[in-house]
Structure 1
């Protein structure tokens, strides 16, 4: 605590000394030979910003004016007293509103007018002069309000707008006017400091900032002394050259100042001025070289448009991203830990019965029977082992057959126990109660297992999401230059190339082109990129780069190796409008295509609702990123626990990877699916029960590698079982598919539906759905152009 207190005291002392130093220089700042527009604005800002430092600031201003002359000191003192008086009056009248600029205007203008009246008498010219100084002080107050807190308050993250940079430079120029007249070996201090400031800003912010700072500093110095008018041209030219040559480091920026100094001195046509100007510039360069690099880098981090500013922004965004990813990973670990808790809590082998459970069971039986028996003492004290053994055998017999089938055991038990029938009935009743409890326990364990699997799925999704958050845009500067040069050599003009990813199958390139009036991006640039990157690239989307003008932003991305063309045929039982079958096709994530058919139990609206809910649940869970096996188990549990009624639905799901062509088939109570490759037809089937029939289920996953030209045919049981008179329906279906000569998926679906209805004598005995997908290689619309070969790392 003492160290913190000492640190606060040291910071307060530094701020006090800095305030007094700035006040001293601004008290000396005179422009147009007699005006003092900086003193009262500085005092007003300090009064509003740090009221406890107002008196030190006032004394510093008076001391600075005294260093010029006692006349200036008296003028500044009167202006300060008048400002305090006006501020006290205004605060007493209305404290809520801020009249600070108005107070400054009245104090400065009133003091100047009073001074001129005392010296020269009343005149309209004096009133005009006072008004000009007051108006200038009002503007300076608004500028100081933005610049002074930037100097005295240190912030960890401070991004300056261009207006704030200008205000800060005006403050520095105002301070320099307080050094007018100071000489070191005939060299002006204000010239050295002004050129040093221009060098710093030109090196940190570039040509635009350097030229702006040079103009502002030169303008303020020329107002302080008309003989310094040439300084504005020199500083502006030096800032421009220094900023343009900043790529050469400090040497390049310094050369810009030296060249500007020589040109301006030669233009002034004075040999002595040339020597002095050159020495002043060299002195500023010396201070510039002595400036630590971290100072210029820190300043550049505050100026928009600089590399350092961009890096600071990226560092801040990276920190926020890492914090967010860390939180997501923590939630992922939490869900994984919870899943382990649900997986192992209370988990025992099925049918396992411990000795303790048998003891508790027999104890409950004896409490209901033997406690009131007259032979209790004899049976459980003298013949404990025999009684316990007989009851254990009876328990096993009742558990197996519901009664004692062994006559020898029944005779021995009847001879041993005088209430034998009551004990057997009690054991049977307790066994029924225990069976009910076991069922509930098993259901609880199944529910826990379901929750555990779902938590694992959520954990995996969040882990993948955290990785996506932390994935940064890689730097591809050289590749961007090479692509732009290759396109330029091919005669294509591109304004900007920005590469986000060059991973195979996941290329992401953004360009700004002068125009896309004739679809140049699709016809020329995309084929050229495909040849350059050795991968098929297409235009993902385009948009106007500006609100006005033909410039267009184009995003290029990898196309997938395969494309899917689909066809569907669908009808309800008896030709009605509502079918119990539901189907869906969707693209999941990047390059995964899903096809699903669900058949609700029965027909009509109730079956349609069941199958549609199954499809909707499947779509939402898959789109969330959860594994398809966990998705199907979750749907099964939801549907089985939702209602006690026997409402089931089948599910036939196919997941196709459009990059590799690999397909996964998950079948739950559904009919076989077929793949036609040329004249060969193969069937895919699994023996799972329908969804919702049992609470615990295993999902069989069948994988198959698809090729270009393959036809994937999925159908509901209404199509598969339409031919009632056919015994081997699988062979019949394969033959029908093989005999079809068309490869159009919609025609295949229609022909298959038509043949099955004809086989049923034109009747539709059940809801029927056929879903057909054809796998093809992606063929670009435009052929590639040859481009110079490059190595793309």
Structure 2
């Protein structure tokens, strides 16, 4: 019993331990998000950076950092400019009273000059560095002129020019770096210039710590080595050595005694990057080795032991750095495996969507190719016999039709006459100019006009051979077109498997959604927006395991509905199998309207094969098509023609081709595909599920009806059936449907079916108006039953009726207001 109890209790303990780990992980994640919001969104980071830049020096007395930083923040994040100004003023105060006065004068004059001439500026970004250059030079000269008793030396003028030039360059650098410090402006990747600009700004910030010490260890040395270690660990030797060179250069300009630091930092970045495969320990070993080598053979003013302690302090900071921070940083730097993986995931869905669209085009061309090769007259077993009958009919029309023995030959002795004419035809076709004596005697014995018959057969053979040659050419042309279409289909199919395409960037909108959901208390790992088109919103999210609580459908989708301004639903959801895994969810726009359909059909005489065909086609997001095609006549051939018409229509429309172009393409195919006079009618209704607008395209079809309450609207157009003319115009009738409307479409067998009815329009409108039910299937069945009853139960033509009901799409969950601006205007 005790053993069983222990067995039952062990899984519970494991589950509790796992829950505790997940809870700790979520707590750390929440803390990180709150720190990000506090530092980046609230602007605390700008105060800290401004403070350090305000006290940073170059060549021991130049302060070119304050004004470029303030100007860049003012241009890019104007609402946070007071915080940046507060930081640089506080930093300047730590140097001297004169410095804070100079910084305040620089900032004030810049604001006055920039705001006064702002309306004359065409490009603020390009003109900003020149404003900073001019302001820095004028204010510094005026300040020195007053400070030194109304005199300025050549040296002072040159140094002022150097400082102004540095402000110009630093403004360009800070303009690229400031956006990287805002969570609302985060990018998926950084350019090389942006990485260098960020490093220069970070190194410049660190120069503000010159003179600080902790337990007799230099703070600037610790932070600079930590910066090099971090980039070497994340991005490798190339970026690590670059960071070392840039950081060492900035420090050497700030303090000439720190010139040896450039060698140490560059060498540390190189060794640390080369040993990054050993993770943090390998990178740390690279720094320690570089510290020992440079410390023993370099020209350092400090002792080797102190330098080693500073390096160990930097290593300690590296081990304190969260793994998530290192991974996030790696995703932004080109060349890292994390960056490559992020880009692959970034493009995967759009690549698949594009490939799917190309595959649809490929299927269209394949369907066209099959359509040209589906019915081959020459391969028909009855083709030769039918051609022989046509040939003999033409001969007898010119000879026997006016002969007095016509009745004797063709009515009383049909088989004998027919066989004799065939033998004469075959002998003439053999190439001999004259008939054989035997055949001549038989023809003269049977026919009173042998010479005329012989001459008529010879003349007819000339036309027959020419006609056969023409048919052969047409057949070859059809085969050529079919082969070409099949080739295009295969090429596009191959292209679909190889295609790659970048997705559109929606960084700002992704940040808005992420911020709104996290402010509401929902944890989101990643947001990917693939489309924000109205009615076609497509958003992917990655979030921690929901444990099957359904928060995606009940919370996130309603919140997205409020943010985007339209109803959003969960289209696909892949829940995590383990609690430590993540859920993958796809959100799409919900349709504003839905269509419910019903259909009824019957073949002529109660047969199994009808010449009518109908189809309800879902055309991607927001489109729905209802179509009826009536092939000429009845039976299998009519069924093939009407079914082929709808099959081609569905393929072409699903590929995204416009309705008019699709119908004209089908008409051309039907006109060229066969020499027989086989035509098809088409009744097509294209319904937009976002606004309930509808387009009717009627090609030789009967009228359609819309029932709206007690009103019955008639929709008709005048076009010939398809396949008669190769070139014709398609009339489009547009209308606006409303919720609750019933659309009734029918073939001529239903519309013209009622017996002893003079006005079919009035009869059909009356029957539709009298319908008390609103169920589409019941309406279709009742109308079909009424028509058949008027014929006493006889079905004298193929009959098809399709009914569609349009109604509002009511979301399962109401939207949840989140208090954010809509991201879709």
Look at both structures and tell me which one has the larger radius of gyration over its CA atoms: 1
**TM superposition score category, shorter chain reference:** 0.3 to 0.5
**TM-score, structure 1 length as denominator?**
0.47
